[in-house]
Amino acid sequence: MSTLPASARRYSAWSLLRARYAGPGYWRPLWSGRNLQPAYDVVIVGAGGHGLATAFHLVRDHGLRRVAVLEKRLVGYGNVGRNTTIVRSNYLLPENHYFYEDALRRWETLSRELNYNVMYSPRGVLDLALTNDDFPALARRGNALRLAGIDAELLDLPALERFAPELEPRRKRRFPIVGALLQRRGGTVRHDAVAWGYARAASALGVDIIEDCEVTGVRAAGGAATGVETTRGHVQAEQIVFATAGHTGTIGTMLETALPIETHLLQAMVSEPIKPLLNSVVVYVSPGHGETYICQSDRGGLVMGGHLDGFPSYTREGAWHRLEDVVRGALELFPRIGGVKILRHWAGTNDMTMDGSPIMDRLRYDNVFVNAGWCYGGFKAIPASGAAFAQFVATGTAPELIRPFRLSRFATGHLLDETGQGPFPVRL
Ligand SMILES: Cc1cc2nc3c(=O)[nH]c(=O)nc-3n(C[C@H](O)[C@H](O)[C@H](O)COP(=O)(O)OP(=O)(O)OC[C@H]3O[C@@H](n4cnc5c(N)ncnc54)[C@H](O)[C@@H]3O)c2cc1C
């Protein structure tokens, strides 16, 4: 049963018919466009997935009333609208696999919860082994997941052929497929629908979503933050949450606190639509061309990506060498897509931590919170992060699920080294 007010419960075939016959005036904006108020209980900086989900849970689950999300550009302009939509929970380390499993369970029901179709598609995520060394590393990860009660299946070639015949696993290749690790419940979720769904639901619960409003500084007095400076003037806040993904480094500068984060570019690309070719999400590291991952969108485009461009940048322009690597990697798997054209490629700015795991903690003041360091994998985390982070902000105590992601781990050396595992450096 939806907990949203009646105004937000209006997504049905009937409403589409009414829209068709009632004319253009029928459609209303998905979120409010309310005016910025001088003071709030909680100001959230960044209308990406994490900021919007946190706002939604703060109001729905904890009853906060005066909450604003301030966004310097547009809802969904950041990485939430630039990612390749992969969701899964097959991380190696327990801290990560329990957290991402919580997220995956929430994806399964999110469309109902938001009353907005986020198009969760559990089509299966396959990590391919292309060398004899990759296979034991995948087996180890699969065993760790099964111990934790998370679905993981190690596939030999006949099993892989049954699950994904389109991969032609026994085909002669320069780097032949040895086997795969499969998570059947993994798959994709429509990325911009997630931003719109959360924005709409939060707005219906009274959250002010303010676009074109950049936060430029934090005001503090007596050892606590008192508000933020913005391009639209000063805003008082009891609590401040930064969920600014690739811009977290600039937030650290604002608060005169060095963060163990570097901003790097990750790019992705999509081909022209073609007939159905691939039913799952496929990830592999080719000894020849590095990381490649590929899936097919509902429109038929092949969505592909690879590793970081390899140098810190805020430009959001991908470099050609990475595009070439990814396309070569894709051709190694599917030589028959040789004639297919790339329609678009783009990049996003990723907040990379040195251990590949996120940071969810306070920052400098007791009433300032940072939700960051999502690297290349923060899209899939959104529903879990939103719920847990809202609880942290509302109660002042971090729930068990996110306690391992504290900032102090970088000082004490208790790193959650998810990047260090086996041959799979990229964790999308
Ligand atoms: C090409 C690519 C592919 C990816 N693929 C996947 C994938 O398949 N699966 C997966 O799980 N993850 C993936 N990711 C990572 C994922 O997209 C991010 O980790 C996640 O979206 C980051 O969280 P967010 O949605 O809150 O960030 P964002 O959407 O980037 O939100 C942050 C917002 O903060 C705003 N902001 C910044 N500074 C300020 C300021 N001073 N004032 C006001 N607003 C500000 C920005 O404009 C932005 O809208 C991918 C990323 C990229 C770039």
When pLDDT is averaged across residues 127-153 and rounded to a whole number, the result is: 95
- Per-residue pLDDT for 189 more than 90? yes
C-alpha of 51 from chain center = 12
Task: Please name the residue whose Cα sits nearest to atom 2 of ligand 1.
Answer: 83
pLDDT, average across residues 284-313: 91
Which residue intervals of 270-427 are DSSP H helices? 320-333, 382-395, 409-412
Give the separation between CA 51 and CA 40, rounded to whole angstroms.
15
Mean pLDDT over 98-119 rounds to 97
Q: What is the CATH number of domain 32-89+91-116+190-259+355-412?
A: 3.50.50.60
CATH topology identical between 32-89+91-116+190-259+355-412 and 125-186+263-353:
no
Could you give the CA distance from residue 143 to residue 166 in angstroms, rounded to a whole number?
26
Q: Where are the beta strands (DSSP E) in 111-167?
A: 125-129, 153-155
Q: Check if the beta carbon of residue 303 is closer than 8 Å to that of residue 292.
A: no
Query: pLDDT-based confidence at 3, cuts 50/70/90?
Result: low
Confidence of residue 25 (pLDDT cuts 50, 70, 90): low
CA 69 from chain centre, in angstroms, equals: 18
Q: Calculate ∠ Cα 92-97-101, nearest 5°.
A: 145
Beta carbons of 363 and 370 less than 8 angstroms apart: yes
Question: What pLDDT does residue 420 have?
Answer: 43
Model confidence over 211-243: pLDDT tens digits?
999 999 999 999 999 999 999 999 999 999 999
The CATH number of the structural domain formed by 125-186+263-353 is 3.30.9.10
- At 423 the pLDDT is 37
17 band by pLDDT with thresholds 50, 70 and 90: confident
73 or 354, greater pLDDT? 73
pTM above 0.75, yes or no: yes
Distances (CA, A) of 82 to 76, 291, 305: 8, 18, 11
Task: Determine the residue of 244, 254, 255, 371 to mutate for testing ligand 1's pocket, defined as the one with the most ligand atoms within 8 A of the Cβ atom.
Answer: 244
Band of pLDDT at residue 4, cut at 50, 70 and 90: low
DSSP single-letter state for residue 260: S
Helices and strands in the chain: count of H runs, count of E runs? 10, 18
Q: Which residue out of 72, 77, 82, 83 has the highest number of ligand 1 atoms within 8 Å of its CB and is therefore the one to mutate?
A: 83
Q: What is the pLDDT of residue 421?
A: 37
Residue 24 — very low, low, confident or very high, per pLDDT cuts 50/70/90?
Answer: low
Give the number of other CB atoms < 10 A from CB of residue 354: 13
Distance CA 107, CA 186 (A): 10
Binding site membership of 428 for ligand 1 (Cβ less than 6 Å): yes
Where are any strands of DSSP class E within 62-152? 67-70, 86-87, 125-129
Q: How confident is the model over 17-33, as a mean pLDDT?
A: 73
Instruction: With CA atoms as reference, report the closest residue to 45 among 308, 393, 406.
Output: 393
Q: What is the mean pLDDT of residues 22-33?
A: 74
Q: How confident is the model over 42-53, as a mean pLDDT? A: 98
Q: Are strands 208-210 and 67-70 parallel, antiparallel or unpaired?
A: parallel
Answer whether 100's CB lies under 8 Å from 148's CB.
Answer: no
Assess whether the C-beta atom of 85 lies below 6 angstroms from ligand 1.
yes
Mean pLDDT, all residues of the chain = 92
Task: State the pLDDT at residue 427.
Answer: 53
The C-alpha atoms of residue 323 and residue 313 are separated, in whole angstroms, by 17
Ligand 1 site, residue 370, Cβ cutoff 6 A: no
Of 428 and 209, the one with more pLDDT: 209
Give the model's pLDDT for residue 258: 93
Span 340-397, pLDDT tens digits: 999 999 999 999 998 999 999 999 999 999 999 999 999 999 999 999 999 999 999 9
Domain residue ranges of the chain, discontinuous segments joined by + = 32-89+91-116+190-259+355-412, 125-186+263-353
Task: For residue 9, give the DSSP letter.
Answer: -
- Confidence band, pLDDT 50/70/90 cuts, at residue 6: low
- With bands split at pLDDT 50, 70 and 90, how would you rate the model's confidence at 399? very high
